[in-house]
Structure 1
């Protein structure tokens, strides 16, 4: 028997789901985490979620359910960190395929429950956009979470919905979420992060990194790459809250609108009606823009003969960032805003850790202004 969990938003939610599972039930309890292979374009240049046919080496666990293992691999040009993540997390990972809408996801969840011999489902979302009402101006990715709620309702399997780190994904503000959440079920601690800490040496999840930082006691203004405004880690940031599935559906109109969806196209249209946009359409537009920019980049431009040393570039960037009121930053923000290659990022991390060990507060980085 295994406990069955669902990482509602895909991407880094699988990491947080493994951490919440370890905190609530112990790291050694067998578990299966269902998750989307729906990752940022920096990881997967193909817009939208991946499906089983986009991978090699998956393991059949039901007629439509596939498990991702360390031997799995995305088929180019698609990209995915799930195979590597499956090696770094203790729970097994199952792939959610939303291309048949909520009805298809419901079949996969039912197959997973049979595979695990589980009579209950635990849904986990970092940040709380699973409780979005669709009108939030900062809402960016409501579709995956809402599809999970709709699918769980179709199965009839008893389901609990967990929100970890309210507001940490910068989609629904913490102030809007707290009145909906009630008392916390659990407060994550440093010990709860031990089972996932090594993953953040390479995984770009920012909401997950902020949740781990909050559990480790970090408080202050944090700058991420994928949000319009900084996030403030406060007393509620390491909390985990539990709601009934019925309550989550009551709050989330998109989930209710997806109840009869039978395709991802149906789901996109529902998102456009309820929220005014389709995040997949936005991904398509962004991917096309990136491809155009890459095509327009001069192939033989003149590079500076003596490029500025990386520590000097970082120091200038750090001063500007700290002046904006930010105390901590994610590794992803450093890498993307300085346009660092993996080798350059490794070199910079080594330099910063050696020159000022207190600067690294895993999985975040403390800006120099805070050290004084």
Structure 2
């Protein structure tokens, strides 16, 4: 059975697919790997809150008459930006763009078209961290919209759907034990563990890509153990053996995923956002809108990497992501490599604290 991989939340999950590809589909040749993703970048990369649509890109290649495939010559219309064209040039797989503008109904049609054009007879939705299994009332939940909308569209497509979770808990939302318990209760199984060879295959991309969750899964595969300070300065995220595991649910039933079920008939991103806002206490689009206003209105502070490192150490963290470091210091990333963990976007706090 050939499959179209669908990144649940965006470019970080797309890189997560490629990190876990050997575990998920060990018999698949690299050139046969198809990954569809939305473009939703952090504000430091794309100053416009929310995901981009296909119409925000130029240079997408035609797939059966529809502009959908990302290449190194693909670009975004100003003021938007995306790292996806660079990723397309780094990896030995084909990357495709889908968008969330027309809700689950429109996205389901996009996935149907892509699968048919590529000869794929199933969809494998991949989420790094596992917040896609959230019920909606979890206190650590930060970004349910894209994941749940993507899963809803996959289920609406009429194609067989599998769900894969790479690195339970590494997104800093639901704890690993909770993700694993939910997956196990639904019949999911651990299908493998990431190894250093998996990281080596995408190591160049992990060196520059802003993803935090996929970086933590890769770091766990390379032996990192500890706790990592991540976006928004939440409680440091534990990195353990479980952080390098890959889980899969082969029978995905709509009613087992209440957030996706609530979104399955949506026809716009706005209506999906309204529904999520009514079910949960978080809305990542509202958060981005607020942060975008703050970036314009609040003067930048002078905070050094050493300042952040000492504060993070006091909170029990051992490492910090590049994204969090940039977020907290307004761009003060150390130029030296001695603090960096194995070429990834992680920094040892004790080394940073010494300056």
TM-score calculated relative to the size of structure 2: 0.90
User: What residue in structure 1 maps to residue 242 of structure 2?
Assistant: 236
Query: SS of 1:246's equivalent?
Result: coil
| 2:324 aligned to which of 329, 333, 340 | 333
| 1:95 aligned to which of 94, 97, 107 | 97
| 1:166 aligned to which of 150, 168, 181 | 168
| Structure 1 Cα separation of the partners of residues 308 and 219 of structure 2 | 22
User: What residue in structure 2 maps to residue 365 of structure 1?
Assistant: 347
Residue 165 of structure 1 and its aligned partner are, at CA, apart by 0.8
Is contact 2:60-2:67 (8 Å) kept?
Answer: no
> Deviations 1:76-119 (Å, cap 9, x if unpaired)?
11111111111112221111111111111111111111121011
Distance 1:135 1:65, change over 3 A: farther
User: What residue in structure 2 maps to residue 75 of structure 1?
Assistant: 77
| Structure 1 Cα separation of the partners of residues 277 and 324 of structure 2 | 30
Distance 1:266 1:75, change over 3 A: same
User: What residue in structure 2 maps to residue 47 of structure 1?
Assistant: 49
| Structure 2 Cα separation of the partners of residues 200 and 18 of structure 1 | 11
Query: SS of 2:136's equivalent?
Result: coil
Matched, 1:284 2:289: yes
Structure 1, unpaired ranges of 5+:
298-302
| Structure 2 Cα separation of the partners of residues 241 and 144 of structure 1 | 20
User: What residue in structure 2 maps to residue 246 of structure 1?
Assistant: 252
User: What residue in structure 2 maps to residue 25 of structure 1?
Assistant: 25
| Structure 2 Cα separation of the partners of residues 361 and 332 of structure 1 | 16
Is contact 1:98-1:263 (8 Å) kept?
Answer: yes
Of stretches 229-238 and 274-283 in structure 1, the one that deviates more from structure 2 is: 274-283
Residue 65 of structure 1 and its aligned partner are, at CA, apart by 5.2
| Structure 1 Cα separation of the partners of residues 15 and 2 of structure 2 | 18
User: What residue in structure 2 maps to residue 273 of structure 1?
Assistant: 278
After superposing on structure 2, the runs of 4+ consecutive aligned residues of structure 1 that deviate more than 6 Å are none
Distance 1:74 1:327, change over 3 A: same
User: What residue in structure 2 maps to residue 322 of structure 1?
Assistant: 313
| Structure 2 Cα separation of the partners of residues 19 and 40 of structure 1 | 21
User: What residue in structure 2 maps to residue 300 of structure 1?
Assistant: none
Is contact 1:22-1:195 (8 Å) kept?
Answer: no
Distance 1:239 1:360, change over 3 A: closer
Distance 1:262 1:81, change over 3 A: same
User: What residue in structure 1 maps to residue 193 of structure 2?
Assistant: 187
| Structure 2 Cα separation of the partners of residues 72 and 16 of structure 1 | 21
| Structure 2 Cα separation of the partners of residues 181 and 153 of structure 1 | 17
| Structure 2 Cα separation of the partners of residues 275 and 332 of structure 1 | 25
Distance 1:64 1:144, change over 3 A: farther
| Structure 2 Cα separation of the partners of residues 176 and 29 of structure 1 | 35
Residue 369 of structure 1 and its aligned partner are, at CA, apart by 7.0
User: What residue in structure 2 maps to residue 207 of structure 1?
Assistant: 213
Residue 63 of structure 1 and its aligned partner are, at CA, apart by 5.0
Larger Rg: 1
